[in-house]
Structure 1
Amino acid sequence: MTLPQLFAHIDGIEAILVLDKDGTPILKLPTAEAVDQLDLQTIIPSAQTLQDQSQRMNLKKLKTVVTYWSARQIITYNVPPLVFIIAADTNVNTGALLNLYNDFQTISSEELSNKA
């Protein structure tokens, strides 16, 4: 499944932001304006802090973080070397969104093999 197909696959996804390992945005879907309007980049420091704190407490590495913010749910997926952030309506099934982790792993590994 490609990232644009997610919008058709799960109704209610508003935007997707893909970051590299340094937190630099590398892809914004459906448009850069839609992602910027939602101000998803304000979520990045919080997600990185959660990741750092879980590692310091010797917990397993966080794979996903679910937050609710301003009438939408924000799911952050840590799929090294990429981070995917999805903004979706609160009526979207959270379990269906969490199941996207495997799709993101596939997308991330395909991206790495294309660069090699």
Structure 2
Amino acid sequence: MTDDVKRFFNNLINKVNNLYLILITDRDGVPLLRVSHNKNMDLALFPTLIPTFTTSSDQATKLGLGRNRTIISIYSNYQVVQMNKLPLIVTCIGNENCNIGHILALEKQIDNYLDELKFAVTES
């Protein structure tokens, strides 16, 4: 993975106020890239987050409205935005005041940097 990809996501987490974590995984939840303000943020809080997203996304696609692209979940202390970028999943976790619209507006920029990671996942 190039330094440009890491640098982009490090800059991205600083652009969005109250964004705690950006996690890029494969479809099974295997982490490929993790960027966080708080290095001690425990992902044990989210043990089934990725597999649940995958299942929910597959089910939402069956509604006949086209392929599901994004699921937004709002909890008491967190907001989670998960983007379906098959074979990758981008998960953004922020506090309850995080600007979800800002994250969604950056989606096209994120796509440009995921190509290298997608290639690595499909080749392995």
- The question of a shared fold, defined as TM-score above 0.5 by the shorter chain, is answered with yes
Q: Does 1:96 pair with 2:102?
A: yes
What pairs with 1:1-116 in structure 2 (closer than 5 Å)? 2-30=8-36, 33-36=40-43, 39-112=45-118
Q: Which runs of 5 or more residues in structure 2 are unaligned?
A: 1-6
Code of the residue aligned with 1:18 in structure 2: it is: I
Code of the residue aligned with 1:46 in structure 2: it is: T
Residues 21-77 of structure 1, C-alpha deviations (whole Å, 9 max, x = no match) = 33212222226642525x234222321121111233333111111101231110001
Counterpart Cα distance in 1 of 2:54 and 2:119: 26
Counterpart Cα distance in 2 of 1:43 and 1:84: 11
Cα 1:77/1:9, change in 2 over 3 Å: same
Q: Which runs of 5 or more residues in structure 1 are unaligned?
A: none
Code of the residue aligned with 1:34 in structure 2: it is: M
With structure 2 as the length reference, what TM-score do the two structures score?
A: 0.76
Code of the residue aligned with 2:96 in structure 1: it is: T
Q: Percent identity?
A: 23
With structure 1 as the length reference, what TM-score do the two structures score?
A: 0.81
| Aligned residue-pair number | 115
Counterpart Cα distance in 1 of 2:28 and 2:61: 17
Secondary structure, aligned partner of 1:108: helix
RMSD: 2.4
